[in-house]
Amino acid sequence: MLLISFFTLVFYSLLIVFISKYIMMRTIRKLAIRLQIKSKTIGDIMGVSTSIPELLTITTSSLRGLIGASIYNVLSSNIINLVQYVFTIFFSHNIKRLKNKAILFDLFLALITILLPMLMLKQRKALSLTIVPLFLGMFIFFIIANNQITHYYVKNDDKKNNNNKKKKYNSTKELSQIVKQIIILLSASIILFFLGELLGNTLEKLCNHFKIKQEYIGILLGFITSIPELISFFEAQRFHKKEESDILGVVEATNSLLISNMINLFIIQTISALIITAYG
């Protein structure tokens, strides 16, 4: 029975990852190209989309009172994201691009999203309403700082790349494709919502019925739910390498890393705190 529940947990988690990767991320990429969105913005969108598995698993675990799993999921996910990012940079031969000041600054912010939950765990600080204004304030500050420094140090590369990509499209055909892709994204989001509910039921059974420590469940979920980030880092650098603008691939991957870690910590943990306050 325990083995069945464990494999059910892995199955639901991988299904969430599969839908995020093969449906949501690919659709977002097509939509971004069609709308000629800047690389940084694509990275931001990818960061949001790759955080969906964490959002679902952490929210459902918090609703069931599994707070330990929630915090360890965030910490393990953010650490794994950074390790995966560094690995893809080396593998894609883009290490020289890390000299860019905007990229270095974003990596510093990403490091903070790891150190902060580590500090919370060390001091055994529980999630409560007191962290909500702090986390939301930090999220806004990180967004503003990221936008400003990226605009200052990357704007010329992005502008040049967008000028090279300008194409003429059939407006009617393009509009129908955009609507189709938005419908796909909405449909995938609904499916993910129900999968999150099933995943939450399995989590509750493992922790409460089989007495498995929440920390172990959280770390396992961190590994599973970080797979979309790994894919997005590789895909961003691969796509821009073909366009001979590898700096933008690193910018996109870096923003994806930062936004994903920020959402995992500041937004999802804020939601967890609100849930704990409301139902705790």
- Predicted confidence at residue 177, as pLDDT, reads 85
Provide CB contacts within 8 A for 124, sequence distance 6+. Answer: none
Mean of per-residue pLDDT scores for the chain: 81
**Tell me: the pLDDT tens digits for 28-53?**
878 877 887 887 888 888 888 778 77
Map out the domains of the chain as residue ranges.
Answer: 2-279
- Predicted confidence at residue 105, as pLDDT, reads 93
Read off the pLDDT of each residue in 248-252 and give the average, rounded to a whole number.
88
Name which residue leads in pLDDT, 179 or 164: 179
Share of the chain above pLDDT 90, in %: 20
- Predicted confidence at residue 170, as pLDDT, reads 56
CA nearest 106: which of 148, 163, 50?
148
Q: Is the separation of the CB atoms in 223 and 80 below 8 Å?
A: yes
d(CA 253, CA 276) in angstroms, rounded, equals 33
- Predicted confidence at residue 275, as pLDDT, reads 79
- Predicted confidence at residue 34, as pLDDT, reads 80
- Predicted confidence at residue 84, as pLDDT, reads 93
- Predicted confidence at residue 259, as pLDDT, reads 93
Task: Tell me how far the alpha carbon of residue 117 is from its chain's centroid.
Answer: 16
- Predicted confidence at residue 138, as pLDDT, reads 95
Q: Tell me how far apart the terminal alpha carbons of the chain are, to the nearest angstrom.
A: 29
**Tell me: the pLDDT tens digits for 1-32?**
778 888 887 888 888 878 877 888 788 878 87
- Predicted confidence at residue 152, as pLDDT, reads 77
**Tell me: the pLDDT tens digits for 126-178?**
667 788 899 999 999 999 999 888 877 776 555 555 555 555 555 777 788 88
Question: pLDDT confidence of 67, banded at 50, 70, 90?
Answer: low
**Tell me: the pLDDT tens digits for 182-224?**
899 889 878 887 887 777 678 777 777 777 777 777 777 777 7
Contacts made by residues 214-217, CB under 8 angstroms, sequence distance 24+: 214/61, 214/66, 214/67, 214/68, 214/69, 214/72, 215/68, 215/69, 215/72, 217/9, 217/61, 217/66, 217/69, 217/72
Share of the chain above pLDDT 70, in %: 87
Provide CB contacts within 8 A for 25, sequence distance 6+. Answer: 46, 49, 50, 228, 231, 232, 235
Q: At residue 258, does pLDDT exceed 90?
A: yes
**Tell me: the pLDDT tens digits for 138-151?**
999 999 999 888 87
DSSP 40-97: HHHHHHHHHHTTHHHHHHHHHHHHTT-HHHHHHHHHHHHHHHHHHHHHHHHHTT-GGG
d(CA 184, CA 173) in angstroms, rounded, equals 17
- Predicted confidence at residue 161, as pLDDT, reads 52
Q: What is the pTM of this model?
A: 0.78
